[in-house]
Structure formats: C-alpha cells, structure tokens
Amino acid sequence: MGAVSIEHVGLAFGSQQDIKIVALENLSLEVPDKQFAVIVGPSGCGKSSLLDLIAGLREPTSGRCLLDGKPVGGPGADRGMVFQNYSLFPWLSVQKNVEFGLSLKRMRERQRTERARFYVNAVGLSSFAQSYPNQLSGGMKQRVAIARALANDPQVLLMDEPFGALDSQTRTVMQELLLGIWEKEQKTVLFVTHDIDEAIFLGDKVYVMSGRPGRFIDTIDVGLPRPRTIGMVTEPSFIAMKRRIQISLHAEVRKGMAGVSATA
C-alpha cells in the first residue's frame, strides 16, 4: 500500500525571537494508493518543503503527514526520493549506484546484483551498467536516480523537479519513460514541477498551490486516457486544463509581486 494523507499541515521557519517565515499553511491532501499526483505552484510556495515533510526530512509545525494511516516519524525505506541534481555517487558505477541502498539493507550480493540489473535494464541503461556518472548525459544520470529509487521498492516515490535541468526533447522522453515504468510498477507518486504541460501529461490529479504561505487553491482531475501519448498536448481538453492552471498561477505571481512592492 502507499496512501498518503496530509492533515492540516503547517510549516514555519525561525524561532520565537526571529521573524517567522510561514512556508505552508493548513494543507490537507489525500493521495490514494497507486495515484500519480502532481503539485505545481509559484517559486517559493513550499512545494519542495511539502515533499520533505512526507519524506520525514522535516517535521511540520502543525498538523501531520501519514502513510497508510501511520504518522510519518522520519525517513524510511517505504519512501523513495528523486531530486533534480541526481545525487549519484561519482566513484560508483551505474550498477553499484543502483545497488547502494540494497547493500544498506544487507541484501545478499547475488540478489541485490540481480535486482539492480533489472532496474538498470528497465531504464534502458544495461549497456552503461559499468559506466560512471561523469560518463553519462543528464538524462542518463536521472534514469540512474530513478532506477536506484525503484530498486529499494518504496511504497511512495517522491520526485522533486526531477527533469527540470534537462532540455525539452530529453525531458519529453524521460516523461514517457517514467510513465511506462509507473504503469508497470504501480507506485504512488508525488511529483513536483513548475512545468504545467508536464503536470497534466503525467498526473492523475494536479494540485495547484498558492504563493507563500503555500495552500492548495485548485485540484484538476486530469482524466486523460492511459497510456499517454505526446500528441495529447494539443487536444482541446489538455489546452483547457493548461489555461485553467495558468490563470491560477498568474494570479498568484501577480499577488506575490504586489506584496513585495508594498513592503519595499
């Protein structure tokens, strides 16, 4: 199982003596098992901070995060994270990078080798298994990061702008690759992005956040059939959803800029 619940979560930075920065305010969210949920919002709205809370890397100031009804009390193998900056070990080969988490679990060498090989192949890098990160392109590095996360068999995959540093063509290919893997693995995914097209193309639901303090201001039920194809981005329903999200985000950005001008 991999159902994620967020109940009235708030997050603030700073001590009582300092000026507090409220990053998140009264967030509630239910992500059912196996759903592909995407979160979009203006820069600085707290999207990444929310993933950190679900991952157990931070504690909320108020409210709570739950996985299958149990409070998140810290990091755990039931949640895997994929970041924009890949976070690969440069001294390890592709194969050994994917094996790394399995070795921490004390999995037997033969078993972890076979499991890592399976996921290296799943992301299309079997011919690069013995290569090192500095020999790979950006898209290939991100495929290694995805393979490493999946090899640990998490219930929930948390993805923070994983394709943000890639060129548009590579990004599209990576989106299709991720969807293909997700349709086979059926993991719960929470995916953060600034890219509206990406959000709609990938997600079952798209959650739109306000400017800081981050709150959910809209939820889009995507409803596009699966498997998804890149041609869907020109369909009227896709364009209508994109326009709806653009209008919401544009209003939030303008509101944020007005707030900055008023305090300047």
Please report the DSSP string for 50-112 in residue order: HHHHHHTSS--SEEEEEETTEE--S--TTEEEEETT----TTS-HHHHHHHHHHHTT--HHHH
Tell me which of 93 and 18 has the higher pLDDT.
Answer: 93
Note the maximum CA span of the chain: 63
Task: Quickly count: other Cβ atoms within 10 Å of residue 14's Cβ.
Answer: 10
> Is pLDDT above 90 for 126?
yes
pLDDT at position 226 is: 93
The three-class DSSP label of residue 37 is strand
Question: What pLDDT, on a 0 to 100 scale, did the predictor assign at position 17?
Answer: 62
Q: Which residue has the higher pLDDT, 221 or 169?
A: 221
Domain boundaries, the chain: 38-57+73-78+154-263
DSSP-based three-state secondary structure for 36: strand
User: Residue 175 and residue 139: Cα distance in Å, rounded?
Assistant: 11
Residue 8 has pLDDT above 70, yes or no: yes
- Tokens describing residue 141: 């590095």
Place of tokens 């300047």: 264
% of the chain exceeding 70 in pLDDT: 95
Instruction: Kindly tell me if the per-residue pLDDT of 263 is higher than 60.
Output: no
Rounded mean pLDDT, 109-117? 92
Domain covering 38-57+73-78+154-263, topology? Rossmann fold (3.40.50)
Calculate ∠ Cα 220-184-216, nearest 5°. 20
- Are 192 and 161 in contact, with CB atoms under 8 Å apart? yes
Which of the four pLDDT bands, split at 50, 70 and 90, describes residue 106?
Answer: confident
The pLDDT assigned to 241 comes to 97
**pLDDT of amino acid 253:** 80
Residue 165 clears pLDDT 90, i.e. is over it = no
CA angle 161, 234, 168 (to 5 degrees): 35
pLDDT of residue 260: 56
Cβ-based burial of 110 (10 A; exposed 0-12, middle 13-18, buried ≥19): exposed
What is the structure's pLDDT at 16?
58
Share of the chain above pLDDT 90, in %: 69
Please give the average per-residue pLDDT across 31-46, as a whole number.
93
Specify the higher pLDDT residue, 109 or 264.
Answer: 109
Residues 181-238: tens digit of each pLDDT: 999 988 999 999 999 999 999 999 999 999 888 999 999 999 999 999 999 999 999 9
In three-state secondary structure terms, 16 is: coil
Residue 107 has a pLDDT of 84
Our measurement of the distance from residue 161's CA atom to the centroid of its chain's CA atoms, rounded to an integer in Å, reads: 6
* Model pLDDT for residues 55-88, shown as the tens digit of each residue: 999 999 999 999 999 999 899 889 999 988 878 9
Distances (CA, A) of 158 to 19, 47, 122, 208: 30, 11, 19, 17
